[in-house]
Amino acid sequence: MAEPLLQVYNLSKSYPVRDQRRGKECFQALNDISFTVNKGEILGLIGESGCGKTTLGRILCRLDTPDDGTILFEGVQIDSLKEKDYRKYRGRIQMVFQDPSSALNPQFRVGEILHEALRSAGIRKPLAQKDRINLLLGKVGLTPALLSRYPHELSGGQKQRICILLALLTRPSFLVADEVVSALDLSVQAQILNLIRGLQKELGLSILFISHDLNVIRYMSDRVLVMYMGEIVESGTAEDIYYHGAHPYTQLLHSALPEQHESLGDEGITDFSDLVLQEDRCIFAPRCPYCSETCLNGKPALSELSKDHLVRCVRLWQSKVEAVSEPSR
């Protein structure tokens, strides 16, 4: 059976923002997020920019601290560990960033970047470093000749391969892949997606795969979380989310795919900064085509539509069957 590797409970994070009109306020980047990543699983995370995807990834890698919540990694609560005690987990949880160009120091040769990463991870013997790098170079489909080049001499795809290699150096069991293909051409995107899937199988990695592209998410993930303004609005298997998305937001994402020849209802122009968060209503209500009185009076809970398919929408409590059989807009 599926064995949990990473468990997240009630994670919240807010950033202070100063607003001239309203005085000092907080922007709730993550609100009460709970989920589990199983061993050897790719969990997809989809949502628009600004919804908190990257914040979540950063917190999991301890690049940011949560306000509230618990993170268990292999059963150990890692969010409360001291820096010294966390050290042995740092290498186990790694992140690949969106923009490979800015993730690599332009003044260092690729080889120097890799050796430095290993040094800081505590592997100091030059021979051991070399072995590890050479082993992984083949796995990510690169030749040793690249080690003496500077990042700007590499193509976008090669740079992203180096970034993946960099993340794998410390032999992690959990990888956060944050929009790793959004800066790449379609044909290169396919190569990198294949590479990540291959590595995941070969090394038994668990991956949180973050993307805004539902097609990519469906192809890559086993299960998917749909996030909207810091909340999980739907979660389920990749097929459930892609073909039977039940939350109006998931349906909106689906209808935005290029091959869906339908026009989007124009709900006006959304400006995230103008949407004042209210505790007691559905977070999607201002954009929702089905918004009703109930949605404005009380926040819907994440409830089970079918096995492992959770949705945060009142319409589904009211008439489960109708909502599911209805085609996506």
Partner 1 sequence: MLDVRNLCVDVRLHGENYPVLENVYFTVQNGESLGLVGESGCGKSITAASILGLLRPNVHISRGVIDWNGRDLSRIRPKDYQSLRGRELSMIFQDSLSSLNPLMRVGKQLSEAYQIHTPLRGEALRRACLEALEQVGFIDPEATMKRFPHQLSGGQRQRIVIAMAIAAGPQLLLADEPTTALDIITQKKILALLKSIQKQKNMSLVLISHDIGIIGEHCERVAVMYSGWTVECGSVDEIMRDPLHPYTRALIQSMPGTHDKNSPLPTIEGRVPSLTERPKRGCMFYERCPKRCAACRGEIPVIRLESGRRVKCVLYAEGGESRG
Q: In the structure encoding, which two tokens stand for residue 137, read together?
A: 């170079």
270 binds partner 1, rule: CB under 8 A: yes
- CA pair distance 145, 125, nearest whole angstrom: 21
Taking the complex as a whole, how short is the minimal distance between the CB of residue 129 and partner 1, in angstroms?
28
Radius of gyration of the chain from Cα atoms? Answer: 21
272 binds partner 1, rule: CB under 8 A: yes
Q: Tell me, residue by residue from 97 to 126, as one string, x for binding to partner 1 by CB under 8 A and - for no binding.
A: ------------------------------
Q: Which of 144, 198, 204, 289 binds partner 1 (CB under 8 A)?
A: 198
- Tokens 């995807």 locate to 53
Taking the complex as a whole, how short is the minimal distance between the CB of residue 102 and partner 1, in angstroms?
15
The nearer residue to partner 1, 93 or 142, going by C-beta atoms, is 142
Burial class (CB within 10 angstroms; exposed 0-12, middle 13-18, buried 19+) of 318: exposed
Q: Which of 7, 36, 191, 328 binds partner 1 (CB under 8 A)?
A: 191
Is the sign of the CA dihedral 229, 233, 237, 241 positive or negative? negative
325 binds partner 1, rule: CB under 8 A: no
Backbone angles phi, psi at 60, to 5 degrees: -65, -30
23 binds partner 1, rule: CB under 8 A: no
20 binds partner 1, rule: CB under 8 A: no
| Helix axes 110-120 and 156-168, enclosed angle (nearest 10) | 20
Binding span for partner 1 by CB under 8 A among 71-79, 92-100, 116-124, 184-192: 184-192
**Nearest by Cα to 250 from 292, 217, 208, 295:** 217
Q: Which of 146, 180, 226, 253 binds partner 1 (CB under 8 A)?
A: 253
The nearer residue to partner 1, 1 or 269, going by C-beta atoms, is 269
Taking the complex as a whole, how short is the minimal distance between the CB of residue 70 and partner 1, in angstroms?
31
The nearer residue to partner 1, 47 or 91, going by C-beta atoms, is 47
The nearer residue to partner 1, 217 or 305, going by C-beta atoms, is 217
* CA 3 distance to own-chain centroid: 20
233 binds partner 1, rule: CB under 8 A: no
Taking the complex as a whole, how short is the minimal distance between the CB of residue 163 and partner 1, in angstroms?
17
188 binds partner 1, rule: CB under 8 A: yes
What phi-psi label fits residue 187: left (phi over 0), alpha (psi between -120 and 50 degrees) or beta? alpha
DSSP-H helix ranges across 169-319: 186-203, 214-220, 238-244, 248-255, 293-296, 314-318
Binding span for partner 1 by CB under 8 A among 27-35, 160-168, 170-178, 252-260: 252-260
Q: Which of 16, 261, 279, 327 binds partner 1 (CB under 8 A)?
A: 261
- CA pair distance 123, 143, nearest whole angstrom: 22
Q: Tell me, residue by residue from 38 to 57, as one string, x for binding to partner 1 by CB under 8 A and - for no binding.
A: ----------xx--------
**Nearest by Cα to 73 from 56, 63, 88:** 88
Residue-wise burial string across 168-180, b where 16 or more C-beta atoms lie within 10 A, e elsewhere:
bbbebbbbbbbbb
Binding span for partner 1 by CB under 8 A among 53-61, 69-77, 129-137, 155-163: 155-163
Taking the complex as a whole, how short is the minimal distance between the CB of residue 49 and partner 1, in angstroms?
5
- CA pair distance 221, 182, nearest whole angstrom: 16
**Residues binding partner 1 (CB under 8 A):** 48-49, 155-157, 185-191, 193-194, 197-198, 212-216, 218-219, 238, 252-253, 256-259, 261, 263-264, 266, 268-272
